[in-house]
Amino acid sequence: MALGETKGIILFTKDYKEKDKLVKIFTESFGKLMFFVKGAHRKNNPIGPAILPFTEAIYIGDFREEGLSFLNGSKDVYPLRVIQEDIFVNAYATYILNLVDAAIEDRTYDPNLYHFVQQALKLLNENKDAEIITNIFEIQLLSRFGITPEWKHCSVCQETRGKFDYSSKYSGVLCERHWHLDDHRYHADPRAIHFIRLFSTVSYDKVQDINVKSETKTAIRKTIDELYDEYVGINLKSKKFIDQMKSWEDTLKLPKREKKDEEDDKTVS
């Protein structure tokens, strides 16, 4: 048992009996932990704001190596208001947090992943492109599932330029000259593969320099779904909700969320 404090991000909460809660937090110092919060439903509970969904804070408590940990207090509470209030942004943030929960075991110390999640949520909370932020997260998270495709160059000849497709047989991309080597390659849109190759290495501070047409986003989504279906094999309710949401998003979204589909695909240089 360690008594102390750590930064953390709320993954999810669920009621426990009438007045208490179980709260799962991705902590910077101890990995994912499940906490018991006594009297969480009590009015004016000082820890209440710190255990709301999509909140980051410094959590004070007993961090245990087995069983439930216990929260005693919090400070520097930072609610991610846009994520909390916007159903569209909320959906993508929920999916990202669900992926984190699936990707690593509890109590796995992974500060790099913690900071990656922190960056993703920050950008979502700033109303940056939620689809692109999520795609980057999905591609770079594959390594936590033990999947490391070769994206940098053709798996056969190391070519780095031109059109590419993904090959499960070669565990990476093939340049157009070697597509004939795998009849069962993904036959993906080359534009989608171009962006996925970019997403595999790009840092989040370059997101504002990436502009993608809606039809290309659809092709990217299709290819990433194929990758996750083949290699990861998880079925998350939050992902299904995003898929359903696409069918009615255009009729409900606010004008500030609309994109100009006529813009060309653009990437960072």
**Domains defined along the chain, listed by start:** 2-79 (2.40.50.140), 129-250 (1.20.1440.120)
Q: How confident is the model at residue 251 (pLDDT cuts 50, 70, 90)?
A: low
Average the pLDDT over 35-41 and give the result: 89
Confidence of residue 267 (pLDDT cuts 50, 70, 90): low
Would you place residue 3 in the very low, low, confident or very high pLDDT band (cuts 50, 70, 90)? confident
Mean pLDDT of all residues in 43-57: 93
Dump pLDDT digits (tens) for 150-160. 999 999 999 99
Alpha-helical runs (H) found in the chain: 81-85, 87-103, 111-125, 130-141, 190-199, 214-227, 237-245, 249-252
Give the residue-averaged pLDDT of 162-167: 98
Can you tell me the mean pLDDT for 49-55?
Answer: 96
Residue with tokens 């190391």: 158
- Report the run of H or E that residue 269 belongs to, with start and end: none
Q: What is the pLDDT of residues 59-80, one digit of tens each?
A: 999 999 999 999 999 999 999 9
User: In the prediction, which pLDDT does 29 show?
Assistant: 95
CA distance 42 to 98: 27
Number of C-beta neighbours around residue 135 at 10 A: 23
The more confidently predicted of residues 1 and 214 is: 214
* Cβ atoms within 10 Å, residue 141: 22
Whether pLDDT at 104 is above 50? yes
More confident residue, 84 or 39: 84
- How high is the pLDDT of residue 189? 98
Look up the pTM and report it.
0.91
Please report, rounded to a whole number, the percentage of residues in the chain having pLDDT higher than 70.
92
* Average pLDDT of the segment spanning 252-267: 52
**170: closest CA among 162, 161, 180?**
180
**CA pair distance 227, 100, nearest whole angstrom:** 17
